[in-house]
Amino acid sequence: MERMLYDAAFEGNVSLLLALLREDPLLLHRFQLCEGNFTGSPLHLAAKLGYAEFAAEILNRKPELAEELDPNKSSPLHLASARGHLEIVKFLLTVNPSMCLARDFEGRNPLHLAALNGQLSVLEELVRVVPWAARERVSQAGDTVLHLCVKSKRLEALKLLVNSSVGDDEMMNAKDGDGNGILHLAAADKELEAIKIILSNDKINKNAQNANGFTVLDIFDKSPKDANKDKEIRNVLRRAKFLRAVDIGDPNTWQKQTEWLETQRGTLMVVASLIATMSFQAGLSPPGGVWQNATYENGTSVLAQTRPIYYNVYVLTTTTGLASSMSIIILLVSGLPCKRASVGFIMMLMWIALMATMNTYLISMHALTPKDGYTMAIPVIRILSWVWSSLVGLLLLGHILRYFVGVIKMATQLVQRV
């Protein structure tokens, strides 16, 4: 009886199935998977061969068979999806839609198989009924369904998914087990059509880096040359404003800096306030004090008359320290967002404030040291002044150049997008 049941399934013979069930109503409840030469239930066989009416009769009598797995851990839904039997797929989804999450021995669910085999109508139905199945990854390789489409060159399936609800930010920028996004794979294989399809979705991050720190343009440059494809692909990448990793910089560095600024707002405020207070006090109380007699105008700086060069430099450094520290306070109080540009600007201002404060102290010590009589303080102060000014000046110049280069790049990219 069981052999006759499998023969009926192999032929899709509904009449024979009904005759067998009239003779033995419990026949479907007694069969065993893998018995003899059979490798699945009659429903597996009907799903594989596309006998929709036969499958419907079995599901009406024993819907639990939709959950049975064959030796390859494939459910009837796996087989029907891989072969593109849409009507059977609809029957199976009606009975138990959760089977769309079941995995075969390679870790693939029915939606993965439909995409791999280019079964577009089935793929569309599965995405409509069980969209979360598209977010499942193939367990062994960590591929999403979009990775599978690119690797297997199923461009129509890729286009369907990219333009569906599946094509959100999370899925479009997901990385496989090797850390590559779908654009990295398409560029490595020089699949021009795949690149165009992916770029049609504005959620894609064109300059994302893989696990090795390479962008899509880096991958394209490192892949084997193909004169027939390279020129057109390069034009597409150029028009889409793709960048190399060296032109982007290290995003992790800026991320750490922005996190640091966010957590250190209070500390920066205290330091900037302290520098502002010292600079303000130094401006009102220059070294040597002010005149208190009729020799010069009362209340004016003694240093301005006795050593005018020192006084001019002193006023310049004091004012610079006050202005830069006050600027930091204003930026922090105004709730400046912790973005890349703001981090660089605040760091530059802090360097200026610290350099100005140190130079104010050094000039004060130099001005207060008597000219009469040789002391060790004079050469030491001079050496410290030159060393400190040179070192900090070089560091500050480097930060300023890096900041303005970043600003120019950002402005250039913004203009190009417009």
**pLDDT computed for residue 36 by the predictor:** 43
- Rounded (10°) CA dihedral 314, 317, 318, 320: 150
Which of 156-165, 281-290, 373-382 is the least confident region?
Answer: 373-382
Residue 252 scores a pLDDT above 70:
no
Q: Between 195 and 302, where is the model more confident?
A: 195
Do 89 and 79 form a contact (C-beta atoms < 8 A)?
no
Domain covering 1-115 in this structure, CATH number: 1.25.40.20
Q: Band the pLDDT of 37: cuts 50, 70, 90.
A: very low
Enclosing H/E stretch for 12: none
Contacts of 165 (CB under 8 A, 6+ apart): 127, 131
**pLDDT computed for residue 395 by the predictor:** 76
**pLDDT computed for residue 114 by the predictor:** 96
**pLDDT computed for residue 309 by the predictor:** 84
Residues in the chain: 418
Residue 380 scores a pLDDT above 90:
no
In the chain, CATH 1.25.40.20 sits at 1-115, 137-249
- Concatenating the DSSP letter of every residue in 108-125 gives --HHHHHHHTT-HHHHHH
What is the rounded average pLDDT of the residues 338-361?
76
Could you give the angle at which helices 251-263 and 265-284 cross, rounded to 10 degrees?
70
Q: How many angstroms separate the first and last alpha carbons of the chain?
A: 73
Q: How far is CA 285 from CA 9, 110, 274, 277, 316, in A?
A: 102, 81, 16, 12, 14
Work out the percent of the chain whose per-residue pLDDT is above 90. Answer: 35
Q: Band the pLDDT of 51: cuts 50, 70, 90.
A: very high
**pLDDT computed for residue 331 by the predictor:** 81
User: Rounded to whole angstroms, how far apart are CA atoms 402 and 400?
Assistant: 5
Q: Band the pLDDT of 33: cuts 50, 70, 90.
A: very low
Do 182 and 173 form a contact (C-beta atoms < 8 A)?
no
What is the rounded average pLDDT of the residues 10-28?
88
Burial (Cβ within 10 Å: 0-12, 13-18, ≥19) of residue 128: exposed
Contacts of 300 (CB under 8 A, 6+ apart): 290, 291
Q: Between 146 and 213, where is the model more confident?
A: 146
**pLDDT computed for residue 184 by the predictor:** 94
Token pair listed for 50: 């596309």
Residue 212 scores a pLDDT above 80:
yes
What is the rounded average pLDDT of the residues 366-393?
71
Question: What are 85-136's pLDDT values in tens digits?
Answer: 999 999 999 999 999 999 999 999 999 999 999 999 999 999 999 999 999 9
Do 123 and 159 form a contact (C-beta atoms < 8 A)?
no
Residue 216 scores a pLDDT above 70:
yes
Q: How far is CA 15 from CA 5, 18, 62, 98, in A?
A: 11, 5, 17, 31
- CATH 1.25.40.20 at 137-249, yes or no: yes
User: Rounded to whole angstroms, how far apart are CA atoms 134 and 153?
Assistant: 18
What is the rounded average pLDDT of the residues 51-75?
92
- Rounded (10°) CA dihedral 273, 278, 280, 284: 160
The neighbouring-strand residues paired with 301 are: 290
Long-range CB contact pairs, 36-42, < 8 A, 24+: 36/3, 38/6, 39/70, 39/71, 40/68, 40/70, 40/71, 40/74, 41/65, 41/68, 41/70, 41/76, 42/5, 42/6, 42/8, 42/9, 42/17
Do 84 and 105 form a contact (C-beta atoms < 8 A)?
no
The neighbouring-strand residues paired with 290 are: 301
Residue 83 scores a pLDDT above 70:
yes
Token pair listed for 253: 């560095």
143 SS3 class: coil
Which of 51-55, 105-109, 222-226, 384-388 is the least confident region?
Answer: 384-388
Where are the alpha helices (H) located in 334-373, listed in sequence order?
Answer: 340-368
**pLDDT computed for residue 364 by the predictor:** 81
**pLDDT computed for residue 263 by the predictor:** 66
Residue 31 scores a pLDDT above 70:
no
